[in-house]
């Protein structure tokens, strides 16, 4: 790898210092690099062009790797905005847990040397696509790397949902909502809601209820090729929402439907160390 595009979360501490270290190191090694320039309004809703933070047209076609500076959220935003470009992404953690990232600001020289010398492997991570349709005909589509959550906006109230899989009725839920997670997202909201952890190279979807008002409701592991249909059975106008990776959201009301399936695009992530997935889970989760 010799050409890099850097996306930095300016709200994190030490961002400027870490960015300076990266630029100096890459320049010393004869590599080229470019920094994403954020602009006013980038934090708004996803644009008509399909991106929210990073315009994929601004990323040079010959980019070998995208480096994100921030936390898991920064990496996930980049993955969604740049989906389909097939450029490997590596995250440097400037936040707290950083489960998806490959090191922190102190590890910059080692990280960059591994990239420049080819000491890494690439992992392809599946994504989800959600297509929401309201009874009024309004439509919304987006993708997610971690999960799509259908939930009640008022966390102190439950919502009633009807779930079908591949056109066949599966179950009704009375709960705070449901999570449909990828293996990558299994260690995020899904884990907090009691769902199972899955190896990131699996090709599955995990359906997990949130605070279900039923004793026997548990997570269900589905095939990656399944299509899940979620219908809002009860609730007033805009009282529910479908939330993509905890970021973008669309309001939902009684009778509205969202269909979720595996996306045709994937995210390619850079893995530097030889730690197994289970080693990573143990090390990252030990202090939580």
For residue 252 the two structure tokens come to 């939902």
Q: Work out the angle between the directed axes of helices 108-117 and 15-28 (0-180°, nearest 10).
A: 40
- Contact (CB, 8 A) for 231 and 242: no
What is the DSSP track for 80-133? Answer: HHTTTS---EEEEE-SS--TT-S-BGGGHHHHHHHHHHT--EEEEEEEEEEEEE
Task: Check residue 162 and give its pLDDT.
Answer: 96
Dihedral of CA 136/160/233/227: which sign? positive
Catalytic-residue membership of 48:
no
Cα three-residue angle 117-119-120, rounded to 5 degrees: 130
Task: Give how far Cα 62 sits from Cα of 96, 122, 142, 158, 244, Å.
Answer: 32, 17, 26, 49, 29
> What is the reported pLDDT for 40?
44
* Binding-site annotation, residues for NAD(+): 72-73, 146-147, 157, 176, 187-192
What does pTM read for this prediction?
Answer: 0.91
Per-residue pLDDT of the chain (288 residues; tens, 9 = 90+): 999 999 998 888 788 999 999 999 999 999 999 999 765 445 545 555 567 889 999 999 999 999 999 989 999 999 999 999 999 999 999 877 778 888 888 889 999 999 999 999 999 999 999 999 988 777 999 999 999 999 998 877 889 999 999 999 999 999 999 999 999 999 999 999 999 999 998 999 999 999 988 776 889 999 999 999 999 998 777 799 999 999 999 999 999 999 999 999 999 999 987 767 777 777 767 655
pLDDT score for 81: 95
Q: How far is CA 213 from the centre of its chain?
A: 28
Q: E strand or H helix at 9, and its extent?
A: none
- Annotated binding site: which residue ranges? 72-73, 146-147, 157, 176, 187-192
Whether residue 229 contacts residue 205, with contact meaning beta carbons closer than 8 Å, is answered with no
Q: Kindly name the residue from 72, 81, 142, 245 that is annotated as catalytic.
A: 72
Residue for token pair 């299509």 = 227
């Amino acid at each position: 790898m010799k050409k890099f595009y850097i996306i930095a979360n300016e709200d994190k501490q030490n961002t400027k210092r870490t960015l300076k270290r990266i630029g100096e190191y890459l320049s010393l090694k004869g590599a080229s690099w470019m920094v994403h320039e954020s602009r006013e309004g980038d934090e708004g809703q996803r644009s008509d062009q399909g991106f929210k933070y990073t315009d994929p047209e601004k990323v040079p076609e010959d980019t070998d790797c995208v480096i994100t500076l921030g936390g898991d959220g920064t990496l996930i935003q980049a993955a969604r905005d740049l989906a389909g470009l097939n450029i490997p992404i590596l995250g440097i953690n400037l936040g707290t847990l950083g489960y998806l990232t490959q090191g922190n600001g102190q590890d910059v020289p080692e990280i960059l040397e591994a990239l420049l010398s080819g000491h890494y492997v690439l992992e392809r991570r599946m994504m989800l696509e959600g297509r929401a349709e309201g009874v009024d005909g309004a439509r919304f589509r987006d993708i997610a790397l971690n999960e799509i959550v259908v939930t009640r906006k008022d966390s102190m109230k439950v919502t009633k949902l009807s779930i079908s899989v591949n056109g066949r009725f599966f179950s009704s839920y009375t709960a705070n909502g449901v999570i449909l997670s990828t293996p990558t997202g299994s260690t995020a909201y899904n884990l907090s809601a009691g769902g199972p952890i899955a190896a990131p190279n699996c090709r599955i979807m995990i359906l997990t209820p949130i605070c279900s008002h039923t004793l026997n409701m548990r997570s269900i592991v589905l095939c990656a090729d399944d299509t899940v249909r979620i219908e809002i059975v009860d609730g007033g106008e805009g009282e529910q929402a479908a939330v993509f990776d905890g970021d973008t959201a669309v309001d939902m009301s009684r009778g509205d439907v969202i269909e979720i399936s595996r996306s045709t695009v994937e995210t390619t992530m850079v893995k530097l160390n030889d730690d197994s997935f289970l080693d990573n889970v143990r090390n990252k989760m030990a202090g939580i």
